[in-house]
């Protein structure tokens, strides 16, 4: 059985929708730790394409965050 991290999402009409992030407990726990930290935290989410990085952030923070940057195309591999 896969681990799930249950999230309640309030829709625009006030209805509450239950959503689940499957097998993301470790990631959600780390995001929660950073969110509750007394210090400023800078979080970088990296990994292979199409594995749900943006979905994880959008759902965890309920689309409420100060800054996001999602990939840049045609970026050279070396700086």
Residue 68 in domain? no
pTM of the model: 0.61
**What is the number of structural domains in the chain?**
1
Residue 69 in domain? no
The larger pLDDT score, comparing residue 37 to residue 79, is at 37
pLDDT of 63 reads 82
Residue 19 in domain? yes
pLDDT band at residue 10 under the 50/70/90 scheme:
low
Cα angle for residues 72, 74, 78 (degrees, 5° grid): 90
Residue 16 in domain? yes
40 burial (CB, 10 Å; 0-12 / 13-18 / 19+) is: exposed
Residue 77 in domain? no
Residue 8 in domain? yes
* Separation CA 17–CA 34 (nearest Å): 25
Q: What is the pLDDT of residues 62-71, one digit of tens each?
A: 888 787 777 7
Rounded to the nearest integer, the mean pLDDT of the chain is 76
> Three-class SS of residue 58?
helix
Q: The domain containing residue 26 runs over which residues? A: 4-60
Q: Residue 44: is its pLDDT beyond 70?
A: yes
């Amino acid at each position: 059985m896969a681990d799930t991290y249950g999230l309640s999402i309030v829709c625009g009409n006030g209805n509450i929708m239950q959503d689940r992030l499957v097998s993301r407990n470790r990631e959600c726990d780390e995001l929660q730790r950073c969110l509750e930290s007394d210090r400023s935290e800078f979080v970088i989410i990296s990994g292979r394409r199409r594995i749900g990085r943006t979905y994880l952030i959008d759902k965890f923070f309920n689309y409420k965050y100060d800054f996001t940057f999602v990939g840049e195309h045609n970026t050279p591999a070396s700086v």
